[in-house]
Amino acid sequence: LKSTSGPIFCPATPLRKMLNTYGIPTSVFNRPDGMDLIKDEIRTFNKGLTPLGNLYWISSPENRARQTAGSVAIAFATPKEASAAIRNRLYIAGILVWCEKHYIIRPTA
């Protein structure tokens, strides 16, 4: 699996633990250390949630350059944590961002 911004999570990460988040402010996080900052925000402001591995932008670099918010894929330690993030949303950069289960759609013949 490839991302628009470099290395991503381990392919062995069960998808039930992977989430897409929407509305991540690009003005704050679209920089080299942005994914580490998002991890810190999740750990600090979302009690009991532990992001794993490398987070990555779902939004293309071109879209992030012209939009105020983008989408990020995040893996959590347990399915329970992922469910809590979907149910309660994530508090990042002073806002609540929407989450949903990460789906991989394979091309059909």
- For residue 92, being part of any structural domain is answered with yes
State pLDDT tens for residues 61-86: 999 999 999 999 999 989 999 999 99
CATH number for position 40: 3.30.70.330
pLDDT at 8: 41
- For residue 10, being part of any structural domain is answered with no
- For residue 39, being part of any structural domain is answered with yes
Confidence band for 33, pLDDT divided at 50, 70 and 90: very high
On whether the CB atoms of residues 74 and 18 are closer than 8 A, the answer is yes
Task: List the beta bridge partners of residue 89.
Answer: none
- For residue 43, being part of any structural domain is answered with yes
- For residue 106, being part of any structural domain is answered with no
- For residue 87, being part of any structural domain is answered with yes
- For residue 97, being part of any structural domain is answered with yes
Averaged over 7-27, what is the pLDDT? 71
Question: Structural domain tally of the chain?
Answer: 1
Is the pLDDT at 103 greater than 90? The verdict is no
Query: Which residues have a Cβ under 8 Å from the Cβ of 96 and sit 6 or more positions away?
Result: 89, 90
Is the pLDDT at 16 greater than 90? The verdict is no
pLDDT at 41: 97
CA pair distance 91, 88, nearest whole angstrom? 9
Tell me the longest C-alpha to C-alpha distance in the chain.
Answer: 45
- For residue 85, being part of any structural domain is answered with yes
Q: Vertex 77, ends 68 and 44: CA angle to 5°?
A: 55
* Residue numbers of the domain that contains 23: 15-101
> What rounded mean pLDDT belongs to the chain?
85
Confidence band for 89, pLDDT divided at 50, 70 and 90: very high
pTM attached to this predicted model: 0.79
